Amino acid sequence: MIIGNVAGARNEHAINLNSKVLVQFSSGETLTLTIVNPEHINPVRGFISYDSPLGSALLGKEKGDKISYSVGNRIFDGSILEVNTEKNSL
């Protein structure tokens, strides 16, 4: 199943399905991630599902927004540095 606007995005700059995102975590680590459907995840390539904890935290956000999400009892914080919502950015 392919979902178009899974986030109810505020505008064309908001993170949604197929968006490529550069995130900097509070640890200093930066990652480039692409939001995909669950059947297309590939952590080695940075493809994360929109329904994962991190993917859910990113949906609907924009460049400059802060994120926070938890996995188990650990909480992760970060900032969105760049967002590319063009379909051909993959």
Q: Which residue has the tokens 């509070």?
A: 26
For 36-56, write each residue's pLDDT tens digit.
999 999 999 999 999 999 999
Is residue 3 very low, low, confident or very high in pLDDT (cuts 50, 70, 90)?
very low
**What is the residue-averaged pLDDT of the chain?**
89
Residue 24: pLDDT above 60?
yes
- Is residue 46 one of the residues assigned to a domain? yes
Are 63 and 79 in contact by the 8 Å Cβ rule? The answer is no
- Is residue 2 one of the residues assigned to a domain? no
Domain that holds residue 30: 20-85
Q: How many domains does the chain have?
A: 1
More confident residue, 74 or 7: 74
- Is residue 9 one of the residues assigned to a domain? no
Residue 90: pLDDT above 80?
no
- Is residue 12 one of the residues assigned to a domain? no
- Is residue 1 one of the residues assigned to a domain? no
Are 10 and 62 in contact by the 8 Å Cβ rule? The answer is yes
Q: Domain with 80 in it: what CATH number?
A: 3.10.50.30
- At 1 the pLDDT is 38
Q: How far apart are CA 86 and CA 90, in angstroms?
A: 8
Is residue 10 very low, low, confident or very high in pLDDT (cuts 50, 70, 90)?
low
